[in-house]
Amino acid sequence: MKMNDLDVFRELLGGVSRRDFLKYFTIMASSMGLPLGVGAKMAEAVTNPKRPSVIWLSAQECTGCTESLLRATHPTLDHLILDLISLDYHETLSTPAGHQAEEARQKAIRDNKGKFVLVVDGSIPVKDGGVYCMIGGKPVLQIVKETAPQAGAIIAIGSCASWGGVPSADPNPTGATPVHEILKGTPVVNIPGCPASPYNFLSTVLYYLTFKKLPELDDQGRPKFAYGRLIHENCERRPHFDAGRFAVAFGDDNHRQGYCLYKLGCKGPETYNNCPSILYGDVGSGSWPVGTGHPCFGCSEKGVGFTAPLHALANIKYLTPNTFFTEAYPGKPETTSNIKALGAATAGVVIGAAGAAMLVGLGKKGNDTEEENKEG
């Protein structure tokens, strides 16, 4: 990337230094498990004078996802939204209202046909012809169906848009439906979470802008870089779980000691997300539910959040073998009991450290494409 591009950019960013700017994209790249050089490539993609158009449609939502995106305080984040991406339509943030807002949306669609990123937050009510969510007198169901075929990429942000979330909770009074079910056959990236992590969203947008394709997704349409692992795998309380130290009531001694919250109903063992490593709100360590002492309730996981009873025990997906398991070759000379005891004690520490290392290696193994590996 040329120096003068960056200078122009620096102005756009309101005086953010070149170093901070590149650092930001390098962090973004590494949070996706991409090689370091990709950060510069991403920076180049967004310095393109024609800012990529983003059209944001709101359905049955609470604006929590928008709020979490706006509250992210990483130095260049607000600039990213306001100066780098062209957020051409967003009901909560747009200046025009009424028919002017509708015209702005139509124009943005026309001008950026086939190229814009369509973001949808909130579920789509289908019951009674979609009357439970109307914009400008039109059901949002119809608006989403009309807009989607013109988009370059579609992202469903938040649990509501990804799998139904709160509005779809039993008895689902309005027939709240996730975006991918409305748009069957069209690829939709799901970024679940209530609210969704702004970094998981922004990383996906940056990936698309840089490589002109979507990141690798799992069977539920979630980017693997963010949802490839269980919360339980990277939780800072995991050593307590493995050692059998649990809080059994809110405020008891064990709770105050920071013990594992499994017995209070923590759904970390069945929820795929990167909360323990990415955290929320950029306010430092511990700023995620388990970090504050509340069990994870699986807000991002279909069939868990808003579905499983809050204080019921989670289904543990993978059990860690404990030290009492019998050996295959008892008395084999190479494995002394000392080493085994040491192994058990350090296992917890290693798992804890893995959490800290997450930011650098988010579980992307051997699937980098040639493009991603090219130096930027």
Partner 1 sequence: MSTRITIDPITRIEGHLRIECEVDGGHVTNAWSSGQMWRGIENIVKGRDAREVWLFTQRICGV
Nearest to 225 by CA among 204, 205, 211: 204
- State the Cα–Cα distance between residues 333 and 194, nearest whole angstrom: 52
Verify binding: residue 92, partner 1, rule CB under 8 A.
yes
Residue 137's binding partner out of ligand SF4, partner 1, none, with CB under 5 to 8 Å set by partner kind: partner 1
Q: Which does 58 bind (CB under 5 to 8 A by kind): partner 1, ligand SF4, none?
A: partner 1
Taking the least distance from each CB to partner 1, the nearer of 197 and 210 is 197
Structure tokens at 177: 């439906």
CA dist., res. 343 & res. 355, Å (int): 18
DSSP type of residue 311: T
The footprint of partner 1 on this chain (CB under 8 A) covers a number of residues equal to 42
Residues in 289-318 at the binding interface with partner 1, rule: CB under 8 A: 297, 306, 309-311
The verdict on 176 binding partner 1 (CB under 8 A) reads yes
Q: Which residues contribute to the site for ligand SF4 (CB under 6 A)?
A: 231-232, 235, 237-238, 241, 260-262, 266, 268-269, 290, 296
For the bound state, the minimum distance from the C-beta of residue 137 to partner 1, rounded and expressed in Å, comes to 6
Shortest spacing between CB 256 and ligand SF4, in angstroms: 14
Angle of CA points 245, 247, 249, to nearest 5°: 155
Work out how close the CB of 292 gets to ligand SF4 at its nearest, in angstroms, rounded to a whole number: 11
Please state, in angstroms and as integers, the Cα–Cα distance from residue 193 to each residue in 57, 131, 143, 204, 223, following that order.
Answer: 17, 26, 24, 14, 13
Residue 112 CA to residue 265 CA, distance in Å, equals 47
Partner from ligand SF4, partner 1, none contacting 266, C-beta within 5 to 8 A by type: ligand SF4
Rounded Cα gap, residues 268 and 286, in angstroms:
15
User: x/- site string to partner 1, residues 204 to 243, per CB under 8 A?
Assistant: ----------------------------------------
Residue whose CB is less far from ligand SF4, 172 or 254: 254
Sheet bearing 153-157, strands edge to edge: 86-90, 53-58, 117-121, 153-157, 189-191
Q: Which of 35, 8, 36, 34 is nearest to 22 (CA)?
A: 36
Closer Cβ to partner 1, 247 or 351, answer by number: 247
**Interaction site with partner 1 (CB under 8 A):** 58-68, 91-98, 101, 125, 132-137, 166-167, 169-171, 173-174, 176, 194-195, 297, 306, 309-311
